[in-house]
Chain A
Amino acid sequence: MQIVSEVREPLVTGGKTHKDVTEDICKQVEGAPSPAWLASLAASLLALGVGGYYLGDMLWNGIGRWGLNKSVQWAWDITNFVWWVGIGHAGTLISAILLLFRQKWRTSINRAAEAMTIFAVICALFWPIAHMGRPWIGPVWAFPLPNTYGSLWVNFNSPLLWDVFAIGTYFSVSLLFWYVGLVPDFATIRDRATSKISRLMYGILSLGWDGSAKSWMHYESVSLILAGLSTPLVLSVHTIVSFDFATSVIPGWHTTIFPPYFVAGAIFSGFAMVLTLMLITRKVYHLEDYITIEHIEMMNIIIIVTGSIVGIAYTTELFIAWYSGVEYEQYAFLNRSTGPYWWAYWSMMTCNVISPQLFWIKKIRTSLMWTFVLSIVVNIGMWFERFVIIVTSLHRDYLPSSWTYFIPTMHDVGTYLFTFGLFFTFFFLFAKFFPVINMAEVKAVLKDSNSKVYRARRTLVNEPLPALEEVTVEKEGSSLIK
């Protein structure tokens, strides 16, 4: 039974009971895969295969297969790295920061968003390793291990090494947070399992979870601390990614605005990707009662906020370039907006600054079609942002004789396609074999102990019914209800 508050829209609609939640979510895991799912997985595997061909060819022959040249040594590789890692940030924002702020609407989207984080960070990690050219030895150089010349260590003054620690920690902690959240839901699936294999596999994954009150107490505490640790972590990760650029002396990169600007951009693109994925999942899995229009509206509001921060950051950059009086800095920005890459700059401006402002209109931010289209537009814009920052700053350096123009090859496109294949293969496997919605958390928010519920309960217990105001006071003062 669900009691509906007069003040707020319910987080889960359709009058769902706890039993319904279990049924609706487990149905996807237990049933046979749908044709739509099989087709999607096949498409992802195709992308993985085609991309894998270009990747293999690139690894065999070297990164000369990419369109890089001696002026533009970083192009799509690092653009894609920053883009993917930025997308990952929304998952942690939803699960950690919104948990700390007690935003209960996060419960029906956090699982899929965290999964997206993990897969996006895997795709991100792929790029720095691939761009080393010899990925079988490259990662070894990144670890703090002594080398063969005695014990010359890695350089802890370098932001590239900070990145290794930041992304590594971010991936590990996100994976842990996600897995800890999955354990009680695996136990639910284990207890419903009818086949031997699924009972065994979900039994192992559920770590023998029994849902005892003492364990839940520790579990809640662990989740809260993990959220508390993940919050500065997620902010630090994109800050450190921005240091890769900001600590250099390249005009257009050497700016102090980079850390907050990158973090806002990361959340912006991440929420767009969450929306893209959730709108599809919602449709295919019929989760309209769990991911309601209100959820989508909330996420669109976050997109307006972060999109506006990004817009202010672009303007500030331009202003500071002019105001600093540094001619190289001024030229870098003039060249961005009017030089050979003007089309990339203005695509970025249109997609990131103008398009999210459409969400001020309530009709647009509550429309599924508009949201879906704009979420993709935003991610295109955020890809261009990283491309603009990286390539336009590099392609015209201090020596006009080495000025050049970067043209991607099929290997650039193919390797990018490979990461898309990887991401969607992981996501579709997740959507089939793991519960896409956090059942335990949704059950917990299904009925809040508001005074109305309390009254209803007391009526059942056949006790004299206190006046509503008194109950409210008692509720707030009681140690029972926090």
Chain B
Amino acid sequence: MEKNKHFLVGIFGDQDDLLHGVEDIRKKGVKIYEVFTPFPVHGLEHALGYQRSWTPKAAFMFGFLGTCLAIIMQVGMMVIDWPMVIGGKPYLAIPDFVPVTFELTVLLASYGMTLTFLFVKGYLPHKVPRIFDIRATDDKHVVAIDLANNSLSEEQIRSILKDVHAEEVYRRDFTDEENQSSFIKYVVDLFTNGVTRSSRIAHHR
């Protein structure tokens, strides 16, 4: 996937400023690439106009799969393959199959949904994140605006961000290497150059 390189970044310190800011920025016709926040800001997805999350559908489908697999397994083993009279119960003792069916439904629904979310969004152990501002996991909200994707000029967007009371506005350019991050390169770089780029020390210097 081709990633753009040139962004304008606006930093917000307060979640209410951010919510109002994002609404106003969008009203003025600026397309926001993404907002990065240290904690879930309620209402931000509406302010950004995102569709509802698809994760409930994934959970339902995996859960249904779990139910079916559990029933097939229990009926196959207890009724079809080797029927036995146990405690005078019928082979197809449906109430006895409820607990295992329930447990497998929950197991598949949770793991199916969560792993699908992580895989689809690319959150995997070897993922090297593209960090716009290191404070996005601490206390600042970061609004990233893709310059290539907007018709307005950099100066115009900059002034719009200032208007909505962004604490800081600066330009963030990524190199090709940063855009196509490789885990191996990242580890090699980490161990040869130490923790340099975008670390706590580098930032507070």
Q: Give the total of B residues in contact with A, Cβ under 8 Å.
A: 81
Contact yes or no, A213 B59, CB < 8 A: no
Known interface pairs A194-B199, A229-B106; A211-B125 also in contact (CB < 8 Å): no
Chain B residues in 8 Å Cβ range of A226: 110, 113-114
Q: Of all chain A residues, which has the CB nearest B37?
A: A211
Contact yes or no, B55 A460, CB < 8 A: no
Q: Is A86 close to B, CB under 8 A?
A: no
A195 to B103, CA, bound (A): 42
Contact yes or no, B134 A222, CB < 8 A: no
Chain B residues in 8 Å Cβ range of A200: 187, 190
* Most interface-central of A169, A193, A220, A481 (chain B CB within 10 A): A169
Contact yes or no, B38 A213, CB < 8 A: no
Known interface pairs A191-B200, A207-B127, A226-B110; A157-B87 also in contact (CB < 8 Å): yes
Contacting B48 at CB < 8 Å: which of A196, A213, A218, A243?
A: A213
Q: Is chain A's interface secondary structure helix, strand, loop, or mixed overall?
A: helix
Q: Of all chain A residues, which has the CB nearest B74?
A: A156
Contact yes or no, A151 B103, CB < 8 A: no
Interface residues of B in 123-137 (CB under 8 A from A): 123-131, 134, 136-137
Chain B residues in 8 Å Cβ range of A243: 99
Q: Is B93 close to A, CB under 8 A?
A: yes
Q: Of all chain B residues, which has the CB nearest A479?
A: B46
Q: For residue B186, give the distance in angstroms from its CB to the closest CB of chain A.
A: 8
Chain A residues in 8 Å Cβ range of B123: 183, 207-209, 215
Contact yes or no, A157 B89, CB < 8 A: yes
A176 to B201, CA, bound (A): 33
Q: Give the total of A residues in contact with B, Cβ under 8 Å.
A: 84
Chain A residues in 8 Å Cβ range of B96: 156-157
* Most interface-central of A168, A173, A447 (chain B CB within 10 A): A173
Chain B residues in 8 Å Cβ range of A172: 107, 110-111
Q: Is A315 close to B, CB under 8 A?
A: no
Contacting B127 at CB < 8 Å: which of A157, A208, A225, A454?
A: A208
Interface on A for B, CB 8 Å cutoff?
Answer: 1, 17-19, 22, 144, 150-157, 159, 161-162, 165-166, 168-169, 172-173, 176-177, 180, 183-184, 187-188, 190-196, 199-200, 203-205, 207-222, 225-226, 229-230, 232-233, 236, 240, 243, 439-441, 443-444, 447, 449, 453-454, 457, 460-461, 478-482
